A and B are shown apart, each in its own frame.
Chain A
């Protein structure tokens, strides 16, 4: 796990897929390649129906399968913050990382014949900004923080809800 985390408030997500587009526009990931994805999960039987969207991107694993599987060293993990990213010039397009990743997160770019993946827009992070998907989320349902901050925020929200229900 990198020192960062992207969390999602599912209740505020409207499945508008702006995150996917902002990512593609920023990262030029190539046709059919989505570094982040909104996955639709529907339960028709409940009333009102549950129509939810779950944000899935790269988890930036502490011990990343993709890094271990890469034969050329193109898949790297940044020392300073643990972001897992592809060194474009070293990628030979073998797709070993896609196979190795339990969630098949690395994406194939048919235009370049190389793999690309979420690097949390590390150029933006280095400039003190947030990843494109989070910055421009239509409803603000995505948050960029650290695991400790995310946990704190979630606990705070839960505590407030708990007392509101009790009043």
Chain B
């Protein structure tokens, strides 16, 4: 029998809508869900490798309990009952000694996190944390400080834009299918694209203008742009007059930052920046200056992102076609939203271990911050953290300095990894609870905000091929085992869906036809004369008092980045369109596309060191060193080197990828302690490494 199922891809965190054809219980075809017009049948390489993930045996295929020392890779297969008993026993002992607050859970956030948040809350802990300290925290907090709205409270209408400006936002490779299609349509319709990055990614090749900026000087360029726009009145004075606070202070602050000054800092010619500014003025309000997606990079990334948010206000591009818009939710469509699972659980009043909302009152409690939670694990201050659930999250490679993380994690009494793959972090855990691949699992329903809001469903398309379980079931079963079943009165996903949909007038069967339901037939736009912002003043704030109270100046003077010493380079990393987050390098198909990474190094810089294209080179920072082949190219700034992230795994069970290439994060020594106190993001682009010619065949040490 042949069936068509609509679901949501789980190969990466973008979670695109997909169609899966199933023949007699076997998956035979997967493509984009063409009921979603922006998606069509399109599917990226990662989604295309979903079936091979399911059949891959180099993954945890049943519950595993650690036998040897942590990280040794000695595992014993266990039943689910035994694994649950082990976890429950450990947790009860930890709770008896340290209280429930000693438990924390981290995941990669996203639309299905509600259930895991409910789980942590039900145990009595405030310590749910997502991955965002290595992703969009700086952008999010920058947005909050300017608009009082979060990062996800804005979306981008690329297709109708006249000018798209990208500060390292690599749209073609850090890939969202719908976004890139919309981006390419804009180009086809004649939009200009300005791409700014020390490294020319594939996106640079699509741009009408590429600036190879000196690494770490985005804020300087933005100050120069702002100076020129403001001094020459090249901005939307109506919009600014109506909605923006702080223009006089802004103008005074910008005085020293002339285009000539910006040229000196960034290496980008003043006359080119000038031409760019005039173009912005011609093209506004159909202008998108992207405030960043993953922006845990430089020590001033928060302020760079903040300046971008301000520039978008100057362009008047808010809630305008071809600019930024508010993604509308159920309320905007006059409908009720999904009921929250967390709402069934009493609030936990306890202070968070990571200090968000207390020591750091300007940081959101919702997402938390992993690097300061690590401090609690390490020091026991403000209180000890002893148990850690890591849900399909891989901090060992996402955060800097894996060795230091191992030292800190070893203070935990229980590490439980719930994952589809052997992540580097899972390999160090005490228990691995293997989750079904996305093809094999249901999830809670999600809200899909946008111009036409709706709800979407991931549903199980095929039975699990191994002794694995869906995440929702794992947490509901664990909660019951720990005596918290009253908060999860569900015995099936169907019951959860019915609860979520209770106020909406929809039933789970309504998702059968397309995989989603829409709450509005037409695109919803707010009245541009009545825009609302979440700041205290209700206006867009160039100067924000909440941050000022934390000692964070809204308009800090520019401080030039540290220069790499002679023979050293700033280490940059990124990804391609087919392997992300170290999750795909061992996939049976995707590993064939690229099995190792190379070190991009500038032609002139390589020449000085006697390095030719393809030569093995040694990359080092202190005692950490490794060998990789060089890609000698003009496409990277002379001060920087670049490698793709996610290579160099030390997990031997991932046989296709084990030991191949280099991992960037191991070189980021001491960088767990260096993060942006204004925005909360880690400084992942503030490490210098030396590069020297090497002999072929060397191993990473």
Contact = CB atoms under 8 A, between A and B. Distances in A.
B593 A20 contact: yes
B553 interface: no
Given A12-B184, A140-B40, A21 B45 contact: yes
Contacts of A31: 592
Q: Interface of chain B, helix or strand or loop or mixed? A: mixed
B44 interface: yes
B195 interface: yes
B181 interface: yes
Contact of A49 (B172, B177, B205): B205
B42 A25 contact: no
A24 interface: yes
A14 B40 contact: no
B634 A138 contact: no
B578 A22 contact: no
B366 to A, nearest CB: 32
B204 A21 contact: no
A17 B32 CA distance: 16
A139 B42 contact: yes
B45 A16 contact: yes
B676 interface: no
A20 B577 CA distance: 12
Contacts of B200: 48-49, 51
B202 A14 contact: yes
Interface stretch (B207-215, B317-325, B473-481): B207-215
A140 B42 contact: yes
A99 B172 CA distance: 36
Contacts of A164: 190
Given A16-B578, A135-B31, A49 B210 contact: yes
Given A48-B200, A140-B42, A21 B205 contact: no
A138 B208 contact: no
Interface stretch (B48-56, B453-461, B661-669): B48-56
A139 B589 contact: no
A136 interface: yes
A20 B52 CA distance: 14
Given A136-B31, A138-B177, A140-B40, A17 B593 contact: yes
A16 B175 contact: yes
Interface string A1-17: 00000000001101111
A11 B188 CA distance: 9
A11 B268 CA distance: 26
B42 A21 contact: no
Interface string B189-211: 01000010000101011111110
A137 interface: yes
B153 interface: no
A21 B48 contact: yes
Given A21-B589, A32-B592, A48-B210, A138 B202 contact: no
Interface in A49-95: 49-52
A126 interface: no
A14 B578 contact: no
Nearest to A135: B41
B43 interface: yes
Given A12-B184, A25-B49, A48-B200, A18 B43 contact: yes
A137 B577 CA distance: 13
A46 to B, nearest CB: 10
Given A31-B592, A52-B205, A138-B177, A25 B635 contact: no
Contacts of B187: 11
A143 B200 CA distance: 28
A16 B205 CA distance: 14
A139 B202 CA distance: 14
Interface string B289-331: 0000000000000000000000000000000000000000000
17 contacts: A11-B184, A11-B187, A14-B184, A14-B206, A17-B578, A21-B49, A21-B593, A25-B51, A32-B592, A48-B195, A48-B210, A49-B635, A137-B42, A138-B42, A138-B43, A138-B175, A140-B40
Given A44-B634, A51-B202, 17 more contacts: A11-B188, A12-B184, A14-B180, A14-B577, A16-B45, A16-B173, A18-B577, A20-B45, A21-B45, A21-B48, A21-B578, A25-B589, A48-B205, A48-B207, A50-B205, A137-B42, A138-B42
Q: Which 9 A-B pairs have the closest CB atoms?
A: A51-B205, A16-B577, A48-B210, A21-B48, A14-B172, A21-B45, A18-B45, A44-B634, A136-B43
Interface of B: 29, 31-32, 40-45, 47-49, 51-52, 172-173, 175, 177, 180-181, 184, 187-188, 190, 195, 200, 202, 204-210, 577-578, 589-590, 592-593, 633-635
